[in-house]
Each structure stands twice: as structure tokens, then as C-alpha cells.
Amino acid sequence: MDAARPQVSPGQWGRSATLRARPQSAIAPLLIASPALVFLAVFFAWPLIEIARVSFTPSEISRGATPLTVLRDPAHLRALGFSAGQAALSTALTLLAGIPIALAFARYRFAGQRLWRALAVAPFVMPTVVVAAAFSALLGPRGALNSALQTAFGLEQPPIQLMGTLPMILLAHVFYNVAVVLRLVGGFLAAFDPSMEEAAAGLGANRWQTFRHVTLPVAMPSVGAAAALTFLFTFTSFGVVLILGGARFATLEVEIYRQTAQLLRLDVATSLAIVQIVVTLLVGWASARLETRAGAPLAARPADDIRRPVNSPAARALVAGSLAFIILVLGLPLATLAWRSLDLSGSDPLRYYAALSENPRGSLFFVPPQTAIRNSLFFAGATATLAMLLGVPLSYAIAQGSRSAAGGAARLAQSLDALLLLPLGTSAATLGLGFLVAFDRPPLELRTSVALLPLAHTLIALPFVARALVPAIRALDPRLREAARGLGAGPLQALRYVDLPLLAPPFIAAAIFAFTVSLGEFGASLLIARPEYPTMPMVIYRFLGQPGALNYGQALAMSTLMMLVTLVSVIAIERVNEQALSARKA
């Protein structure tokens, strides 16, 4: 098959695809995307409309503020400028660190690859309050690194002063979001046809030239998707900025929370939330415009067949550098977290873990750790299932519409691509309040329902599913499906035997993202979750909200258990999907 495929450059492929594309009607993509659109209309648009109605109705919590009037306040303008500036820096640093790691995992085979990948994803789901404590324990004035340096060099003052600074915020954001780049860009590269790289090497290009002129251009759709998601996550950052940055740093999300919870000014909070949504729309529109159509066809071989042994100096340097980054930047704070969860000052190092199953105060809301773990896994499984059921057809609709040169289908695809990012750019506090206001009466009386939590988590996970799948679906070589239909295969057979094997890596990435997003989600859960069904982040928050070393140790112990559950879950999902792919191939 590779020998028969003409060798074309990324630009030639894009131009030929454009020449073949014709204007299409928006009816078919709209029908395919309709389940997801209905879901977004009911569980995203309607709660926001309701909270806006309540906020802008004259009352003791509304004094007539609007999005235009709040932006006249210099404090709000500073929050907007800082939010955008630190998000741009965080995105650039995350891409700089994540793209080489994604390339190493997609192109090479090395020992413990599954475990290394799971370790790189684990930070993405850790609660911000716990990660802040881990960074403080590692890099704070009394942290492990400063203590070691002071002891080694006889220093009176700690040499590393990062707490309350912008570099600490940026470091924490990179810590969180490298997983986004690894999953989205790595999932795409794992299914990218390597014949184009081989052709470039055959023409005399070195590895850097091949990466710059072949690999990076064709991976731009997934790079754009990762950049957009990373920007929105850091633009709306709350816990990291508040805890590690200190009072002198404030994002829009921090200001929205302050106006809602402390000042009870819902009109100001909602106005700022509308500004945040406008920025999200602009980012989504820019991302859709910048993401080129598929630069090259996906490979007709499984990812394991594409990966090569690490047998060259450049490959060894790339893999070694990637693993060193994972150990020092991602693993060391997590290791510090696990270390501090042990009570090394007493006779029982596992005292904090044992205390998780004790309820000395007889609290009605007490749950043992296994119950919290079971709740989190149940909600995460329900979220991943619903997000994939909605996200797969939505992704096909966007990809199908974007292949049209013009017309309603192309405009619909760009609109959907931008609108999908709105849930990520919406304040969790605003959305949670909207849920409580909108779903407290028939026909959707869900305020006390356990189903409300996975529905809210699906809103956050759906953009990840679509962003993982759309670039890969765009990159599917249409000639493969045409060949399958020419041999008598129907649409479902072409989907099963052509699309699914090629899309296996992006499908795995999408499912893992949806699962892990639900595991670590905290903001919306705090407002709408039932107290009798707490998740692991909620239990951690309860422990951190109570004074005493024991409660703090229990919070770290539960966080360590959450990290282990995440690692095991990611490895298990990848293993199950790989076995299914191997069985389908056989």
C-alpha cells in the first residue's frame, strides 16, 4: 500500500485536498452533530441563561453592572491583562516542553513506556490545592530542595525564592498541561504515516530538517488543538494562581469567585464571566482558523509498527531528555507528595492512611476511602462513556464539514470548533450556580440527582474528546475508504475496518482525557455534588478545610491514592484498547 501511494509534500497534500473539496450542504453534518448540540443547549446554554437572568434582575445582589461597565474598572482590566499574558507564556512553555516528549513517545519504543506515559498524565488530574502543597514542600522556603542546598553549602537563607512569583505559576501550569500536549499531539503522531519522513530523509534531510519541514507542519492541527486547550486552562486558572501566586496575582476566574462568594455581586461576576466567554470564543475561532486541514494521511499500520527502537544518538538524546523532564518536573513533586503522606516521625509510617477509615467525630458525611474511590471511578466511567458517545459523531461532523472548500458545511464546522471550547472558558462557579438555578423544577428537576455530576463533567470532557479526534479524522486518507467501498464494504464496514484501526491512538487519548478530567474535576463538583456521594477531590478538600496535622496528612494520603488510581486506570485503559485493536487486526 505504501509503495502505491504517491509521495507528496505536506503543502502539496493540502493543496490537492483543497482542489478535491467541494462546497457541501450543512444538513448532513448538522444531523450528525445534533445529539451533542442538544446536550450543549440543555446543560450549558440554558444554565447560563438562567444565571444571567437572575444576576441582571434588579435586587440586593444586582446593582446594574454590565460587561462594559466592569471593564472600566482598572482592577478588572489588570485581571484580564494578567490572565491573557500568563496564559500565553504558559502555553508557549508547555508546547516547548510537551512536543519533544510527544514525539519521543510516538516514534520510539523503550522500556516501561506505558508507565512513563501514565506518570506524565497523572499531574493533570491532581487537585490544585494538593499540588500547591507539593510544590511548596519541594521548592518553598522550608522545602526539601532549599533545605538540601542550605545544608550542603552552609547558607543562612534559602537560595530558591519562587513562592509568590510568576515563574512558580508558570512552572505549575507546565506541570499540569504537558499531559494535554502529550495526549493530543502524541495521539496524532502515533497514527501519522512515517513514509513522508522517510522520503525526506531519503532526499538528504537531517532529523531537525525533517521535523521542522515535515513532521511539525502536518501535526499543526493537533498542536493548535493542544495550544487552544492549554491557553484556556491557564487563562481560567484559579487554585494555582491563588495559592502559589499570592494575593498580588489575580486571574478573571479568581475575581469571578471573589465577586460571587465574598462580595455577593452576581451582576459583576456574571459580567466578568461573559467577558471570559467572549475571550474563549475568540480563542476557539483563532484555533479553528489556524488549524490547517490534515497535512498528511494517517498511517495504515498500528502505532506499535510505527515506533522504532532507540538505536541512534539523536533518538537516545530525545528519549533521555523526555524521561528526565518527566522525572524532575512531573515526577519529583508527585514523589514529594507521596513522601509527605507518610508519618516518618512516628512508629507507624502509614498512620495517615489508616486514619482514612476512622470516624472519631461520628460525622454523618464520613465515607471510607474505598467508597470515595468507587464513586470517582463510577462518575469517571459514566463521563467517559457519555463524552465518547456525543464526541465521536460531533468530531466526524466537524471534520466532514471542514473538508468542504466553502459553503454552509465549512462555516458550520468552524462555528462548532469554536463553540466547543466555551465550557472550558466558563467559570466553574458561574456554571455550578446556573445548574442549581436551572434544574430545580420540572421537567428537569435534577438538583438532587446523582446524574448531575457526570453531566457537568461531560461538559468539560467533551472539548477534549473532540480536540483529540477532529485532527485525526481530518487526516484520514479518503482514498482508503473509497478503496474499501470499491471492494464492496458498506459505510459501517468501512468505519470498522478502516477508520477504527487508524484512529485507535486518538480514541485512546480521547477516552483517557474524558476519564481523567472527571477524576480530578473539583470546581463544579463542590457546588452540585451530593454530600453522600463524595469524590476523591471532595474528600481531599474536606480534610484540607479542617485544622491539624492529622487532617493534612490524611489529605496527602488520599491524594496519593488518587494518583495511584489514575496511574492504574490510564494503564488499564491503554491495555484494553491495545488488546481490542490487536484482536481486530487478527
- Write the DSSP assignment of 406-449 as a string of letters: SSHHHHHHHHHHHHTTGGGGS-HHHHHHHHHHHTSSTT---TT-
Confidence of residue 322 (pLDDT cuts 50, 70, 90): very high
- Among the listed ranges 227-231, 473-477, 581-585, which one has the minimum average pLDDT value? 581-585
Is the pLDDT at 433 greater than 80? The verdict is no
The pLDDT assigned to 537 comes to 84
Is the pLDDT at 585 greater than 60? The verdict is no
- Among the listed ranges 84-98, 321-335, 510-524, which one has the minimum average pLDDT value? 510-524
Asked whether residue 56 is assigned to any structural domain, the reply reads yes
Asked whether residue 304 is assigned to any structural domain, the reply reads no
Q: What are phi and psi of 309, to 5 degrees?
A: -65, 155
The mean pLDDT value of the chain amounts to 78
d(C-alpha 414, C-alpha 410), whole Å: 6
For residues 242-261, give the mean pLDDT.
78
The pairs formed by 445-448 with CB atoms below 8 angstroms and a separation of 24 or more are 448/530
Residue 49: CATH number of its domain: 1.10.3720.10
Residue count of the chain: 586
The pLDDT assigned to 542 comes to 78
The pLDDT assigned to 123 comes to 84
Alpha-carbon Rg for the chain in angstroms: 24
Cα dihedral sign, 404-408-410-412: negative
Question: 342 and 350 in contact (C-beta within 8 Å)?
Answer: yes
d(C-alpha 196, C-alpha 13), whole Å: 11
The pLDDT assigned to 8 comes to 41
Higher pLDDT, 372 or 219: 372
Asked whether residue 14 is assigned to any structural domain, the reply reads no
Domain span including residue 554: 24-299+314-585
Q: What are phi and psi of 191, to 5 degrees?
A: -115, 10
The pLDDT assigned to 13 comes to 40
Number of domains the chain is built from: 1
Asked whether residue 3 is assigned to any structural domain, the reply reads no
Rounded percentage of the chain residues whose pLDDT exceeds 90: 11
The pLDDT assigned to 388 comes to 93
Is the pLDDT at 20 greater than 70? The verdict is no
d(C-alpha 498, C-alpha 506), whole Å: 14
Highest mean pLDDT among 20-24, 410-414, 574-578: 410-414
Taking CA atoms, 377 is separated from 43, 384, 394, 544, 570, in Å, by 22, 10, 25, 22, 12
Cα dihedral sign, 354-360-361-367: positive
Confidence of residue 298 (pLDDT cuts 50, 70, 90): low
For residues 12-23, give the mean pLDDT.
43
Asked whether residue 17 is assigned to any structural domain, the reply reads no
Is the pLDDT at 364 greater than 70? The verdict is no
d(C-alpha 332, C-alpha 554), whole Å: 20
- Among the listed ranges 164-173, 180-189, 324-333, 488-497, which one has the minimum average pLDDT value? 488-497
Among 235, 209, 232, 221, residue whose Cα is nearest residue 184: 221
Confidence of residue 18 (pLDDT cuts 50, 70, 90): very low
The pLDDT assigned to 19 comes to 40
Angle at 236 between CA 234 and CA 237, to 5 degrees: 60
Amino acid at 451: A
Asked whether residue 5 is assigned to any structural domain, the reply reads no
Q: What is the pLDDT of residues 199-226, one digit of tens each?
A: 777 777 777 777 777 777 777 878 888 8
Provide the phi-psi class of 408: left if phi over 0, else alpha when psi is between -120 and 50, else beta: alpha
Amino acid at 529: A
SS (H, E, C) 320-377: HHHHHHHHHHHHHHHHHHHHHCCCCCCCCCCHHHHHCCCCCCCCCCCCCHHHHHHHHH
C-alpha cell at 18: 483543497
For 493-528, b/e burial (b = at least 16 CB within 10 A) is: ebeeebbebbbbbbbbbbbbbbbbbbbbbbbbbeeb
User: Please, which residues have CB within 8 angstroms of residue 519's CB and are 6 or more apart in sequence?
Assistant: 125, 376, 377, 380, 535, 536, 562, 565, 566, 569
d(C-alpha 501, C-alpha 355), whole Å: 47
Residue with cell 504537558: 178
Cα separation of the two ends of the chain: 18
Asked whether residue 125 is assigned to any structural domain, the reply reads yes
Asked whether residue 123 is assigned to any structural domain, the reply reads yes
